[in-house]
Amino acid sequence: MRLADTFSALKADHRKAFVAYVAAGDPSFDLSLEIMHALAEIGADVIELGLPFSDPLADGIVNQMAADRALKAGMTTARTLELIGAFRKTNDKTPLVLFTYLNPIFTYGFGKFQKDAVAAGADGVLLLDLPPDEASLSAELAENHGLSHIRLIAPSTPPERVKFLAQQAEGFIYALSRSGVTGGHSAPAETIPAQVAAIKAHTDVPVCVGFGISNPQQSAMVAKSCDGVIVGSAIVKQVELNLTSPAQAVKDFTKPLIDAIR
């Protein structure tokens, strides 16, 4: 219920959500935990945790390198769930969403993963390479065991597909501001308002927009058209640039982006 409660409270206060992405275990278990707490402390409404994977095809170079650092630091799927559990020891409020691919989850055991993730304190999962219509072909894949299944919708998604995905969404919808891989190498598209309106025509689930948002001005601009802003690579880059003390660097960089949408 953390996701639903968070978005309900934000809506009641006429505020937009800030969703922050970081790679679990980057650059280490302990420093990653510090980063998560730092993000919650400065007002991140939802934290997306990238589950380290050796072949993250939808990620740009910044997030690829973050996953590589985490894997080299000993992060695994099980260790990522331990990280969530460690965060929940002192924070039972901030929703956590796992951002991942099917391969590591399927290897872990899909049903077992979802049960263990919920037990650890996760609230949702975004499986980049598992369309809901394919998941429905397997009872194990279709079950969620209490995890909200976040759906991804791109600008190039056909209208009939937008309707289908929007009606299948739980928690919130991740709307891509542009096509391509993750990263802040280009600004969000000017078509975002029309894109979000097209999604909202089919659902009451909150719509958050990500990809290419890397400064307060972009954060504020995007927030005008949706329910929340998602920032990932630009935050992860701060970790890369400050491997020995990343939490403070992440706070200093991210707080202005959060303040811009308040």
Catalytic positions are: 48, 59
DSSP 260: T
Q: What is the largest CA-CA distance in the chain?
A: 47
DSSP string of 197-226, one letter each residue: HHHHTT--S-EEEESS--SHHHHHHHHTTS
List CB contacts of 41: < 8 A, sequence separation 6 or more: 251
Distance, CA of 141 to CA of 130 (rounded, Å): 9
Tell me the angle at which helices 77-88 and 110-120 cross, rounded to the nearest 10 degrees: 20
Task: For residue 147, give the nearest of 120, 128, 175 by alpha carbon.
Answer: 120
Q: What single-letter amino acid sits at 62?
A: V
What is the side-by-side order of every strand in the sheet holding 17-23?
148-149, 124-127, 96-100, 46-50, 17-23, 228-231, 207-210, 173-176, 151-153
Distance, CA of 207 to CA of 209 (rounded, Å): 7
Helix (H) or strand (E) holding 48: strand 46-50
Output the CA–CA distances (angstroms, integers) from residue 135 to 138, 141, 194, in the order listed: 6, 5, 29
Q: What single-letter amino acid sits at 59?
A: D
